[in-house]
Amino acid sequence: MSHRPTATPGSDIAAWWASAVVYQIYPRSFADANGDGMGDLLGVTARLPYLQRLGVDAIWLSPFYKSPQADAGYDVADYRQVDPMFGRLDDFDGMLRKAHSLGLKVIVDLVPNHTSDEHIWFQEALAAPPGSAERDRYMFRPGKDQVAGSGDGNLAPNNWKSIFGGPAWTRTTNPDGSSGDWYLHLFDTKQPDLNWENPEVQEEMRSVLRFWLDRGVDGFRVDVAHGMVKEAGLPDWDGVAAMVEGSADAGHLPDAPGAHSDAVEPHTAHHHHDPAGDDHSADNAGHQPVSPLYPPSPFFDQDGVHEIYRDWNRVLAGYDGDRMLVAEAWVEPAERLARYIRKDEMQQAFNFDFLLAGWDAQRMAVAIEDSLEAAASVGAPSTWVLSNHDTVRHTSRFGLADPTTFPKGIAAEDEQPDAGLGLARARAATLVSLALPGSAYVYQGEELGLPEHTTLPAEARQDPTFFRTNGIERGRDGCRVPLPWKSGEPGYGFADAYAGGGPSDGVSSGAGPSDGFSSDGGPGHRPPAPPWLPQPESFGELAADRQDGVEGSTLELYRSALSLRKRHGLGSGSFCWADMHDPELGVLAFQNRDILVIANMGTEPTPVPDGYHVELSSAPGAGAAEAAFGEAAFRERAFDEPAVVGASAGRPASHASAAASAALLGGTLDAAVIAPNTAAYLVAG
């Protein structure tokens, strides 16, 4: 590993997004203001002060548009309407106003690759004959055998598989009952792909952008940003595509229903497709790729998509303020991803290589270095992300025997993560991600150290990937569980923003807490409906009210890290590997401005360098191990492995209680070391 300084991309960009911390809200599961068991926009509004206090700069809302919810809202039936389950357009406007008044920017999700099959356009297409203008908005094709003249269209137009499992084509039925053409859906059957060669589609999506820009949104997260353009002729493809690359995925699934692939391949097992012909994997384990996609797919990362983003860049440029686009593009290698953030395209792209690196110093170091270099090559800032609504929460991934694996959900019969170990590592990884220059994304609930729900019963699951793979993929429900706001309330206070009156009183109660965690509902109070997904018991002790103001809790760790990041200008800072950086030994160390970041991902304590003191540590200090880790994990850890929690070094005042915690945890306190599974921010002097 070289210790060369790496250019700091985008640090000269004054726009807010270049260094912003963006908090992802999954509206179904954030806060329920009307007591129907489902999160809503008024719930978001009620909790904005909490987010302001957390110290984030912006929020991104996953889709809240009118939708039959076949894919939790990523199947949009009307791009200009709020689904009644989330509220009304007025509620959105009110939320936006309040967010802006609190200094928070707002990014909304745009889903341009596909619509819902219940979108008026698709309904019109089904009713119209083959070859019509209505059908040309989507990807309708006759069967392969019909084109060849050898059959009556029973064969799908090509061999593409849906990312969610099963075929990517569904055959239509003509109005007279006969079998008709097929339509393409890279995802669920209820998510037909749009035809982006059609100017009408292009103009419609421009108009959708303007609709939300006119309302005042600050940007868009672009769903499947690498998927809209397909290779001409739609050729067969024998590769495997997945949303989260590198795991056991739908394309590789055994046919036997109910069978579960335990053998989730570590990314290091893959071969790296390197267009330059360099096979990095031969000589350096740390340089192995994290998400190969080979041969290149005919439906992802086609050159044509970039014209769309140049067009949208011009649309955004017509508005005041610094509006932005962030690409959700599972593209590799990093240089290919950088093409999405060239000066005249999008402003940011999610750095999934960083997310995919897992808890492994060598892989993480490579991901950091490669993404900084790739972003610098186009003068854009990098981004850092560890979790989102499509991946097992990093708190749980990092507690698996191999913390670089990416299971597609976890069920009771699968390996269960070590909660204490996973949380310790997650807290450490968070300190790394928040100290890197660029923009960082935080997924709702990670500031509480929430684990994945790993024992959801099959009956509770709702993710289409679970059903399309006969349960072989457990699906994404486990990371989408409603948040716990208050430990003593039903649903752990998920509906704490609910003022009473029952679920039937519509969506516009407007009531809710300001920043507290209390609501007694008052007279006539009816209890809220249970949250739409059951919550695990551990959510009780991790609820926001249990961590608020408790030193060493995960919530307070995030607040401290975010405030330190702001004070020291880390988001727009500099990056250089430090002398003690030694990924082979599991030590990741870098300097950003005056902060030295050391993450100990190895097995031995690592020394605090002479002349430095610890400003912030991911280890729970001051006797707060229990609050930080939750009673259960804490108890388990106390009698289990030693020294999982690092020493809270450098702060004389906290030594006594940190010593008590460390002793309870079976570890040793030594102010001169950073324990394994811990990260710290240090300053000289």
> Both tokens of residue 382?
């990098």
Active site residue 459: no
**The only residue of 224, 331, 472, 644 in contact with ligand NOJ, by rule CB under 6 A:** 224
Contacts of 655 (CB under 8 A, 6+ apart): 648, 669, 671
Sign of the Cα torsion 287, 288, 294, 299 reads negative
- Show contacts with ligand NOJ in window 319-378 (CB under 6 A): 328
CB of 67 to ligand NOJ, least distance (A): 11
Query: Are the C-beta atoms of 213 and 316 separated by less than 8 Å?
Result: yes
- Show contacts with ligand NOJ in window 107-126 (CB under 6 A): 111
CA distance 531 to 518: 18
Q: Which is nearer to ligand NOJ, 193 or 541 (CB)?
A: 193
**The only residue of 16, 23, 74, 309 in contact with ligand NOJ, by rule CB under 6 A:** 74
> Both tokens of residue 658?
């940190």
Sign of the Cα torsion 666, 670, 671, 675 reads negative
Angle between helix 419-435 and helix 554-567 axes, rounded to 10 deg: 10
> Both tokens of residue 445?
């609930």
CA distances from 94 to 45, 109, 424, 647, 655 (A): 8, 18, 38, 45, 47
Q: Which is nearer to ligand NOJ, 228 or 599 (CB)?
A: 228
SS (H, E, C) 288-315: CCCCCCCCCCCCCCCCCHHHHHHHHHHH
Residue 120 DSSP SS3: helix
Our finding on whether 16 is near ligand NOJ (CB under 6 A) is no
Nearest residue to ligand NOJ by CB is 74
CB of 312 to ligand NOJ, least distance (A): 18
Residues that bind ligand NOJ (rule: CB under 6 A) add up to a total of 10
Q: Which is nearer to ligand NOJ, 107 or 111 (CB)?
A: 111
Alpha helices in 7-160 (DSSP H): 41-54, 89-101, 120-127, 144-148
Residue 616 DSSP SS3: strand
Contacts of 460 (CB under 8 A, 6+ apart): 477, 533, 534
The DSSP annotation for 356-367 comes to: HH-S-HHHHHHH
From 36, 223, 249, 452, active-site residue: 223
Binding mask 178-197 for ligand NOJ (x = CB under 6 A): ---------x----------
Binding mask 387-406 for ligand NOJ (x = CB under 6 A): --xx----------------
Q: Which is nearer to ligand NOJ, 40 or 75 (CB)?
A: 75
Q: Strand pairing partners for 114?
A: 193
Q: Which is nearer to ligand NOJ, 66 or 389 (CB)?
A: 389
CA distances from 383 to 20, 57, 211, 317, 643 (A): 9, 14, 27, 22, 32
- Show contacts with ligand NOJ in window 648-667 (CB under 6 A): none
CB of 187 to ligand NOJ, least distance (A): 5
CB of 86 to ligand NOJ, least distance (A): 16
From 32, 193, 328, 463, active-site residue: 328
Our finding on whether 443 is near ligand NOJ (CB under 6 A) is no
CB of 164 to ligand NOJ, least distance (A): 7
Active site residue 328: yes
- Show contacts with ligand NOJ in window 563-602 (CB under 6 A): none
Q: Which is nearer to ligand NOJ, 74 or 122 (CB)?
A: 74
CA distance 671 to 685: 15
Q: Strand pairing partners for 66?
A: 78
Q: Which is nearer to ligand NOJ, 119 or 559 (CB)?
A: 119
Binding mask 133-172 for ligand NOJ (x = CB under 6 A): ----------------------------------------
**The only residue of 40, 223, 369, 548 in contact with ligand NOJ, by rule CB under 6 A:** 223
**The only residue of 32, 57, 71, 369 in contact with ligand NOJ, by rule CB under 6 A:** 71
Sites of contact with ligand NOJ (CB under 6 A) = 71, 74, 111, 187, 223-224, 243, 328, 389-390
Question: Which active-site residues does the annotation give?
Answer: 223, 328
